[in-house]
Amino acid sequence: MAPELPKHALIAVTSHYAPFYANGDPTGLFYTEALHSYLVLKGAGFEVDLASETGTYGIDPHSIDKMFMSESDYEIYNDKSHEFSKKLAAIRKASELNPSDYGLFFASAGHGSLFDYPTAKSLIKIAESVWERGGIVSAVCHGPAILPSIIDSKTGKSIINGKRVTGFTDKGEEVLNVDKIMRESKVVPISQGAAQAGGKYEEPENPFDNYSIVDGRLVTGTNPASTTSTATKAVEAFNAL
């Protein structure tokens, strides 16, 4: 590992919090994608920060449904004194951070990511710095919405150009009944964004199965259930540098 690569991770969080679902509910951060990645990274000995583009966030209410949350997840969610709860409440603004402080970048998600990640200049700058210095860039679910915008200075192309990548599937959007809403909102689905950037998009047979991919220093996962495996593989890739 290069001596300048710190064991310090940044978890990116979407700033977008606005009505999205057919019933008027907002989308924003998918809670467990930030929580589970944080727990894996902290457990592996990383210093971990959370940041969004604007320094604000909102939790997608659908993400805290019992379908997606375990008993231990709810315990942390309801415990404002837990270290994760404190970090999230005091979320940083990406532009106020020093990109060179980080050796691993992890993009958590929620449908909100589709709206702000592609143009989140400060988060992108941090990820580009991590990549440039030989670190790990990882993303889960809709987090890969940021990847086409992360440019490799050596090639002038996205870091996913020519690489295997996954993310939330088109079939998954249909199952959640938000595919039409996404088209109306003019956001780019993960598979389409990856293909446009030259990525080799792959997906599991079941859109909600745990599925994560490592291609060199790029680590991606398909859905919320893949968060732990994606973060674990990101740690393994970092340790192998």
Which positions are annotated as active-site residues? 141-142, 173
What is the H or E stretch that residue 140 is in? strand 136-140
Q: Can you tell me whether residue 54 is helix, strand or coil?
A: coil
Sign of CA dihedral 20, 219, 217, 89: positive
Here the tokens at position 130 are 């991590």
Half-sphere exposure of 65 (CA within 13 A, CB side): 6
In whole angstroms, give the CA distance from residue 101 to residue 43: 19
Nearest to 95 by CA among 12, 4, 35, 37: 12
**DSSP state string for 100-112:** GG-SEEEE---TT
Quote the DSSP letter at residue 91: P
